[in-house]
Amino acid sequence: EAAEKGGYSHFAIKEINEQPEALRRALLGRVHQGELRLPELDALRASGTLDNILRIVIVACGSSYHASLLAKYAIEKWTRIPVEAITASEFRYCEPIMGPDTLCVAVTQSGETLDTIVGVRQAREHGSPVIAITNVVASGITRLSDAVLYLHAGPEICVVSTKTFVNSVSVLYLLGLYLGQQNGQVQPEQMRKLLDEFERLPGQIQDILDKANAPDDIIAPLAQRMAQVRSMVFIGRGVGYPTALEGALKLKEISYIHAEGFPAGELKHGSIALLDPETPLIGIATASHVYDKIVSNIQEVRARDAHVIVVATEGDEKIKQHAHDVLYVPSALEAFSPLLATIPLQLFAYYVAVARGCNVDQPRNLAKSVTVE
Ligand code: AGP
């Protein structure tokens, strides 16, 4: 097992560090010289199925659900087709309205999550075409789907998803761009620009990791200082909101610290009552069209004497006046920023868990594939 960890103390940190390579594999053969190819969807396209899609429903659980929530923003922007992301355990019991004009996209890294599989079965029964996004070749979900987009993340041993999360978001984005290209919403020039930005991401993730692995980095010492808190709050707006949900899930499942993610604008409707000097907050405030709004939410929190940590874009010096600690990530297009902001959150959760002596790779009560209801 030590050999499989390749010199790392845990699979978790090995897999976090594998993300640049994992993402490169997801893009390999699909993005090339400003063009996007998803041959896996050619048959669906040729049959005309994709021409009649009026609505997209993404069904998933846990981190895969958070990836779906993120993708909703980008797919709607790039296709102008309404997208709903729904957690599979709710979808299967909500008498979902599906049919041939509603594309069902199932996201499950294991390909075996029972709730997602049952949801897909229902979608099929209603006549919806199904595209599966999974990491595991020939897994259960692939047998129920009209087309499969693999994550190509490589094996993920740690129960906590890291590289499969980043690749799920990325493959969903590729799907969105493909559909946008099909329905004429994404023009060739825009496509080239977006794909160029996409191809920069693995290098940008590598930059974050290199910085985090340097002896003077602040994430591990910050995690050490936060290791004994009882509860943490994560906030974001727009794509920062699902990023906050994912950051909170990472922390709670790996370190057993209670953590919740909220849309920052909702804080004043109740959750702000949770905040006190003993409840640190992480705000996602990377460059975006709602940057000023999230900064104002962070100021409100700061006024409650909470310890404030912010994930921000490199070069944003102004944010320092509103935060006790700032975790910087490289500048990226707004849609792509969560793929970078997620990395320091994963590292933070990992180092907190290590400081608490938790069973990092196999947290209590959790399984890698949830094949029961
Ligand atoms: C993620 O860290 C969790 N272990 C969990 O939420 C997971 O994402 C969920 O169970 C869904 O798994 P799947 O992607 O294999 O369907």
Average pLDDT over residues 325-329: 98
Q: Which atom of ligand 1 is nearest to the CA of 62?
A: 6
Residue 304's pLDDT is: 85
Residue 2's pLDDT is: 64
CA of 360 to the centre of ligand 1 (A): 15
pLDDT digit string, tens, across residues 338-365: 999 999 999 999 999 999 999 999 988 8
Query: Which of 32-36, 252-256, 301-305 is predicted least confidently?
Result: 301-305
CA of 108 to the centre of ligand 1 (A): 7
pLDDT digit string, tens, across residues 18-59: 999 999 999 999 999 999 999 999 999 999 999 989 999 999
Average pLDDT over residues 189-207: 97
In this prediction, what percent of the chain has a pLDDT beyond 90?
90
Give the predicted TM-score (pTM) of the model: 0.97
CA of 221 to the centre of ligand 1 (A): 28
**Is-catalytic flag, 250?**
no
Average pLDDT over residues 233-262: 97
Cα–Cα distance, 152 to 171 (Å, whole number): 10
- Which among 5, 77, 293, 368 is annotated as catalytic? 368
**Is residue 3 over pLDDT 70?**
no
Joined tokens for residue 317: 């010096």
**Is residue 316 over pLDDT 90?**
yes
Cα–Cα distance, 289 to 32 (Å, whole number): 29
Best probe residue, ligand 1, of 61, 360, 362 (max atoms within 8 Å of C-beta)? 61
Q: Which atom of ligand 1 is nearest to the CA of 368?
A: 4
> Does an H or E element contain 196, and which?
helix 188-213
- The partner residues of 134 in beta bridges, in order of sequence, read 150
What is the ipTM score, two decimals?
0.98
Instruction: Give the type of residue at 199.
Output: E
**Is residue 366 over pLDDT 80?**
yes
pLDDT digit string, tens, across residues 266-275: 999 998 888 8
Nearest one of 40, 51, 336 to 181, comparing CA atoms: 51
